[in-house]
Structure 1
Amino acid sequence: MKQTEMSSFSREDDHSHYQDPESENFLPGKNPGNTKYDTEYHQGNASFGMSVFNLGNAIMGSGILGLSYAMANTGIALFLILLVSVALFSLYSVHLLLKTANEGGALVYEQLGYKAFGLPGKLAATCSITMQNIGAMSSYLYIVKYELPIVIQALSGSSDVWYTNGDYLVLIVSLIVILPLSLLKNLGYLGYTSGLSLLCMVFFLIVVIIKKFQIPCPLPDVHAVNETFSKVHESTVSINNETVDECTPKYFVFNSQTVYAVPILTFAFVCHPAILPMYEELKSRSMKRMQRVANVSFLSMFVMYFLAALFGYLTFNVNVESELLHTYSRIDQDDLVLLVVRIAVLTAVTLTVPVVLFPIRTSINQILCVSNFSWIRHTIITVALLVGTNILVIFVPSIRDIFGFIGASAAAMLIFILPSAFYIKLVKKESMRSFQKIGATIFLIIGFVVMIGSMTLIILDWVHNATKVVPDGH
C-alpha cells in the first residue's frame, strides 16, 4: 500500500528526534567538508530486488481502484498519455530528490525542507505528507465503507439492516480494530502488512483481468428482481442527454469528470517520502543504483496500473464507478472469487490504516517540539485523527473527491513542487542558467500549473454539482 509514512515511521520511538532534529549534524564524524551521502553513512543491507519490492509496495495503494474511472473519463489513448507523463514526472522527481539529498546532506523529506527554506520549508513538507497520509487513510476507510457491507450481506444473506450500513461499519471497525492497533507504541507487523497489501492488489489485478472475459457486454440488467441475469438491457445508455454505446471503448473522452484524471494518477504514484529511507538502506548504494531501483519499480507499477485500468474499463465502460471493486457488486454480490478479493483487500487496508496514522502522529509531535512520551497526548492525537478521518469518509460523498483533492494538492506538492524547489535551493554547484536548474524550474512551474489548475476545475465541478442538486440555493 501507499507507504509515504516510511520516512518518519522509523523515527516513532526515537523521541530524541523531537529535540530540534534539524540542528543535528547530518554527516557526523570525519571529513565534514564532504557533502556526499554515499561515503559517510553506514552500508545498507537491502538488496536490489528487495528495494524494488519495497518501493513498488510504497507506490502501490488504493489509487489503483480509481484508475478505471479515470480511463472511462479520458479514453484509453488520453489515459495512456497521462499515465506515461505522470510516471516520467515522478521518476524525474526521484532524480531531483536523490541529487538534493546528496548535495544538501539530509535523508528525511522534512529535513530537506528545513535546510532549504527553514521552518516554512519543514512545515510545507510535513503538511503535504500529513495531507497525503490522511487522504490514504480516508481512501482505505472508504473501501471499508463500500466493500464490508457487501461481504456481510453475502455471508449473512441479510440486507437493509443496520449492520450492513457502511457508515456504521466504518465507525465500528475504527473503534474495535483500528483504534487499539493505532494506540500501540510500536508496529511490529509493518513488514507483514506491506507485503500482504501488495499481494492483495496483485490478486485484485488478476481477478479484474479474468472477469473481463466472464462478464458480458452489455451488462446484465442489474435492476431485474427475482430473475436470472440472462435479461439484458440495451447496449446504449443516455448520459447527460447523449446516447452512448457502452460496449465500444473510447480513445479520447472529455467531460466534466475528466478533470479528476490527473489528480487520481498523481495520488496513485506518490511514494517520494519513502525514497530517501530506502536509499539509506540500499546495499552498495549510489544514486545510479537507486535510480535503477526506481526505474524498475515505476515500470512494474505502470504495467499494473495500466492493466487494472484497461481491463476494468473494458469490462464496465461508461458504467465504471469511482471505486472499481465496488462496481462488480452491480453484477453479482455472491461471486466467491470476488468475495475472497474483497475480504483480502479489506484485511489489508484495515491493517494499513494504523501504519499510515503513525507518521502523522510523529509529525504532530515534532511540530509541538515534545521530547517525552505521554500516553494522554498519544491517545488524544490518535483519537482526533481517527475521528476527523471518519467524518471525512461519512460526509464526503465519493472516494473520487478524496483522490481528486489530495492528488491535486498534497500529491502535486510531493511530486512536483517540493523536490524541484529543494533542488533549486540546495544544489549550489549548478548555476541557475545550467540545464539542470532550468529543467527543475520548468518542473516547478508545471507543478504549480497542475495543482492550481486541477484544484480550480475540481472546485468548479463541486459547485456545479451542488447547484444541480440544490437549484437556486434552496
Structure 2
Amino acid sequence: MPSPQEPPPSPFFRPAHLDTVVVEQTLISTPQGRHRHKRKKVTVSVVEHKSGILGCAANMMTCIVGSGIVGLPYAMQQTGFVAGIGLILLTSLLTEKSLRLLVETAKHLHQQSYETTAEVPFGIVGFRFILINMFVMAYGAMVTYLMITKSCASMILGVEDETYQQFVLLGISLMVHFPLASMRDMADLEKTSGLAVAIDCTIVALVAYSSPWISMQGMESNNLLQLIQTDTVHAGTLFVGLGVLSFAFECQEAAFLVAGSLETPTVARWARVTKMTLTACLVLAMVCALTGYLGFGDATKGNILDNLDPSTTTSFVAHGLLGATMFATYPLASFVARHVCVVLLFEGRRAHEGGSDSTILNRPDRRILLTLALYIAAIVPATVYTDMGKVLALAGVIGGSCLAYIGPGMLFLAVHGGRFLDLVDGFFYVIGSATAASSGVVVSETTTLLPSSSSEPADDIKRFDGCFKQALFYLGIFPLWCRIAERGKKQVMAHALALLEKNTIEPLRIGEVDYSIEKMAKMEEESPPKRHSGPVISAATLIRPSPNLDVPTLDNNSPNPNDKPKPRKAAPPLEPDPQEAPPSHIDFFIAIFYVCFGVIALFAGLVSLGSG
C-alpha cells in the first residue's frame, strides 16, 4: 500500500506544490538612484473546472460510443436477431446500473476513485487489479483510436502508400490528439465531446440511410415476423457477439473522472447523467445494429462502414466523420491512462486517495511529459501495425469484463458482507443458540458506514435447514460468496474505525455524504481504546468543514496577493448515504449476477479470439 506521506524530492518529479506558482516582478528604486526588479513567488490556488449535467453526459457518451458503435451490426450477426436485441438491452441496463452502483459504493466508504474503493475490502490486490485493468482498457482504446484515424484520414486524402499513411497519422495526432490530451481537466473537453456526440448520431443516420434494410428481401411485415421466429439465437457464435457488446458498452474506468467533474455531484444528479447517457447510447446502438444487420445479413463486417459502397459520397462522409470523432475519444482514453500513471508515480497521500489529478497536474511540465509518454507508447504500434484486432479484443474483453461486471458485483458483496452473511444464515441455517432462536437473526449492518457491534455468541451451532437448502448452498457457489463477504466485513470495519481516527479527511470530489454523526460517535465510544487522545470526533465532522465558515481564497484570474480575497460560498448540505439502508435479497442477487455475467463475458471474449 502506498505510503500516506508525500515522497521525498527528486530531481525530475518534485513532490509537488499542488498549486500554481506565479513569479511577480516589482520595480523598486535603490538609495543610489538605480532601479532593479524584485522577484517574489506567490502560490495561487487553482480551481478545477467543472461541467453541468449535459457536459458530463456528453463526456460519458463519448467514452461509451467511441469506435464500438460501428461494430454492433456485426455483434447482432453473431448472436442472432432476437438474441442481439436482448443482449443490447441487457448490457445497456447493466452498464447504467453499475455506473451508479460504483459511485454510490465509493460514497458509502468515503473513497474518491474506483481503485481505492476496491482497496478497502480487498487490500492492495484489489487496488492494483483495478488499476491494471483500467490501463489495459485505456491503452487499448488509445491504440485503436489512432489506427482508425490513420485509416480514415488515408481514405479521405487518397493516400495508399503505407509509409505516407504513417506520416499522415503522425502529423494529425501531433496537431490535434496530443494538444487535446494535454489538457488538465476532463471538463475542458465537454465542447469537443458534444461535437463528437452529434457526429456519432450523424454516422448512425448515414448507416441507416445507406443500408438496404428496407428493400432487402422484400422486408414486409410478414417477412420481418418470419425473421423473428427463425433467426433467434446463433448458438455457435453467441459468445463472439457478447464479447463485442461488452467492449462496446464498457466505460467504468472513466466513471469517477466524469463524476468528479460534475457540478454539485449528488447521487441524484449523477443518476440523471447515467440515465441520459445510456438512453441515448441504447437508441444509437439499436438503430445502428438493426439497420446494419437487416441490410447486409450474413455479409455484415466487423466495421459496418466497410459494407458501404466506397465510391459513394455517403461512405466518404461517414469515414470522415468517424475519423473526426477520434479527436474527442482519444483524449478521454488518455485521461484515464494518465490517471493510472499519476496514482502509480506519485505515491503520496493525495495521489493514492484518488480524485486529485487536477492538483497534481497543475505543473505543465509534469502534465505534458506524462501525456507525451503515453502518446509515444500508443503511436508506435498504431503506425507500425495495420491489424491489431486480436490484441484490442483481448484488452477489451479482459479489462471490460473485470471493470464493468466483476468489479462492481464483488465490491457490493464485500462492502455489505455483514448483511449478506446474516441473510445467508437466516435462509440456509438453523442456529442452535437459544438467544438466536428466540430473537431471530441479528442484522449486523444497520448503520450508514459502521456495522453494528453486535455479534453471534461463540457457542452458536449452525446446521443446514434441510437437504434441499444444503444442495442449493453448494450449487449456488455460496461458499465463495460467503468467503468474500467475511473478508469484506472485517476490512470495512477496520476502514471505518480508521476514518474516525484520522486527524484530517480529504473532502470527497464526487460529493459529500452524511454518515450519521450521532451513530458513528456512539460506535466510537463503544470501540476499543484509541491511539489518540482528546475528545471524540465523528468522521462526518472531519470530512467536511462547517458550512458557516467563510474561508478566504484568491481568485484564479487574479494572482496578485494584494487583491481582496473573495469568500467561498457556503457548502451545500450533506446528502444522505445512498447505501444507508441494509441491502435486500434482490440487491445481492443482482451483485452475484454481475459477477457471473462478467465471468461469462470474459470467457466469451476468449472464445471469440480462439474462433477467429
Please report how far the alpha carbon of residue 347 of structure 1 lies from its aligned counterpart in structure 2 after TM superposition.
Answer: 2.4
Q: Does 1:364 align with 2:341?
A: yes
Instruction: Name the counterpart of 2:536.
Output: none
Say whether the 8 Å CA contact 2:80–2:238 is kept in structure 1.
Answer: no
Change (3 A) 1:17 1:311: farther
Q: Tell me the amino acid that sits aligned with residue 600 of structure 2.
A: V
Q: 1:395 aligns with which of 367, 385, 388?
A: 385
Instruction: Name the counterpart of 1:461.
Output: 611
Instruction: Name the counterpart of 1:212.
Output: 211
Instruction: Name the counterpart of 1:85.
Output: 90
Change (3 A) 1:309 1:111: same
Q: Tell me the amino acid that sits aligned with residue 334 of structure 2.
A: L
Q: Tell me the amino acid that sits aligned with residue 426 of structure 1.
A: V
Instruction: Name the counterpart of 1:235.
Output: none
Please report how far the alpha carbon of residue 449 of structure 1 lies from its aligned counterpart in structure 2 after TM superposition.
Answer: 3.0
> 1 CA distance for matches of 2:588 and 2:215?
53
Say whether the 8 Å CA contact 2:405–2:595 is kept in structure 1.
Answer: yes
> 1 CA distance for matches of 2:213 and 2:86?
29
Q: Deviations over 1:399-458 (max 9, x none)?
A: 4x355323321111111111112222223663333513343234223322321x124313
Say whether the 8 Å CA contact 1:87–1:298 is kept in structure 2.
Answer: yes
Instruction: Name the counterpart of 1:73.
Output: 78
Please report how far the alpha carbon of residue 97 of structure 1 lies from its aligned counterpart in structure 2 after TM superposition.
Answer: 1.4
SS of 2:420 mapped into structure 1: coil
* Identity in percent: 21
Say whether the 8 Å CA contact 2:62–2:328 is kept in structure 1.
Answer: no
> 1 CA distance for matches of 2:296 and 2:67?
19
1:199-238 alignment to 2 at 5 Å? Answer: 199-213=198-212
Instruction: Name the counterpart of 1:417.
Output: 406
TM superposition score normalised by structure 2 = 0.55
1:129-148 alignment to 2 at 5 Å? Answer: 129-148=134-153
Change (3 A) 1:397 1:259: farther
SS of 1:431 mapped into structure 2: helix
Structure 1 residues 281-290 or 98-107, which shifts more? 281-290
Please report how far the alpha carbon of residue 50 of structure 1 lies from its aligned counterpart in structure 2 after TM superposition.
Answer: 5.2
> 1 CA distance for matches of 2:263 and 2:370?
39
> 2 CA distance for matches of 1:209 and 1:424?
42
Please report how far the alpha carbon of residue 279 of structure 1 lies from its aligned counterpart in structure 2 after TM superposition.
Answer: 4.5
Q: Tell me the amino acid that sits aligned with residue 194 of structure 2.
A: G
Q: Does 1:300 align with 2:269?
A: no
Change (3 A) 1:131 1:102: same
Say whether the 8 Å CA contact 1:108–1:273 is kept in structure 2.
Answer: no
Change (3 A) 1:406 1:75: same
Please report how far the alpha carbon of residue 198 of structure 1 lies from its aligned counterpart in structure 2 after TM superposition.
Answer: 0.9
> 1 CA distance for matches of 2:343 and 2:94?
30
Instruction: Name the counterpart of 1:232.
Output: none
Instruction: Name the counterpart of 2:297.
Output: 317
Say whether the 8 Å CA contact 1:99–1:423 is kept in structure 2.
Answer: no
Aligned residues: 386
> 2 CA distance for matches of 1:415 and 1:188?
23
Say whether the 8 Å CA contact 1:59–1:269 is kept in structure 2.
Answer: yes
Q: Does 1:340 align with 2:317?
A: yes
Say whether the 8 Å CA contact 1:74–1:251 is kept in structure 2.
Answer: no
Please report how far the alpha carbon of residue 64 of structure 1 lies from its aligned counterpart in structure 2 after TM superposition.
Answer: 0.3
Say whether the 8 Å CA contact 1:171–1:390 is kept in structure 2.
Answer: no
Unmatched 5+ stretches in structure 1: 1-13, 19-43, 154-158, 219-247, 463-474
Instruction: Name the counterpart of 1:227.
Output: none
Please report how far the alpha carbon of residue 366 of structure 1 lies from its aligned counterpart in structure 2 after TM superposition.
Answer: 1.9
Q: Which has the higher helix share?
A: 1
Q: Tell me the amino acid that sits aligned with residue 382 of structure 1.
A: L
Q: Deviations over 1:243-273 (max 9, x none)?
A: xxxxx89724638654331122112212224
Say whether the 8 Å CA contact 1:52–1:293 is kept in structure 2.
Answer: yes
> 2 CA distance for matches of 1:312 and 1:460?
25
Q: Deviations over 1:367-425 (max 9, x none)?
A: 123678694895377345534454167436254x3553233211111111111122222
Say whether the 8 Å CA contact 1:413–1:447 is kept in structure 2.
Answer: yes
Instruction: Name the counterpart of 2:594.
Output: 443
Say whether the 8 Å CA contact 2:413–2:591 is kept in structure 1.
Answer: yes
> 2 CA distance for matches of 1:45 and 1:360?
20
Please report how far the alpha carbon of residue 321 of structure 1 lies from its aligned counterpart in structure 2 after TM superposition.
Answer: 2.0
SS of 1:118 mapped into structure 2: helix
Say whether the 8 Å CA contact 1:412–1:450 is kept in structure 2.
Answer: yes
Q: Tell me the amino acid that sits aligned with residue 610 of structure 2.
A: L
Please report how far the alpha carbon of residue 183 of structure 1 lies from its aligned counterpart in structure 2 after TM superposition.
Answer: 5.4
Q: Tell me the amino acid that sits aligned with residue 74 of structure 2.
A: Y
> 1 CA distance for matches of 2:299 and 2:409?
39
Bigger relative contact order (CA 8 A; separation at least 6): 1
Change (3 A) 1:259 1:189: same
> 2 CA distance for matches of 1:188 and 1:253?
42
> 2 CA distance for matches of 1:98 and 1:376?
28
Q: Does 1:251 align with 2:231?
A: yes
> 2 CA distance for matches of 1:168 and 1:257?
38
> 2 CA distance for matches of 1:162 and 1:106?
47
Q: Does 1:405 align with 2:390?
A: no
Structure 1 residues 90-99 or 195-204, which shifts more? 90-99
Unmatched 5+ stretches in structure 2: 1-13, 19-48, 218-226, 349-359, 424-583
Please report how far the alpha carbon of residue 90 of structure 1 lies from its aligned counterpart in structure 2 after TM superposition.
Answer: 1.7
Please report how far the alpha carbon of residue 308 of structure 1 lies from its aligned counterpart in structure 2 after TM superposition.
Answer: 0.7
SS of 1:332 mapped into structure 2: coil
Please report how far the alpha carbon of residue 282 of structure 1 lies from its aligned counterpart in structure 2 after TM superposition.
Answer: 5.5
Change (3 A) 1:281 1:152: closer
Q: Does 1:386 align with 2:376?
A: yes
Instruction: Name the counterpart of 2:327.
Output: 350
Instruction: Name the counterpart of 1:8.
Output: none
> 2 CA distance for matches of 1:347 and 1:210?
20
Say whether the 8 Å CA contact 1:100–1:427 is kept in structure 2.
Answer: no
Say whether the 8 Å CA contact 1:129–1:273 is kept in structure 2.
Answer: yes
Please report how far the alpha carbon of residue 150 of structure 1 lies from its aligned counterpart in structure 2 after TM superposition.
Answer: 1.7
| RMSD of aligned alpha carbons | 3.8
Q: Tell me the amino acid that sits aligned with residue 90 of structure 1.
A: T
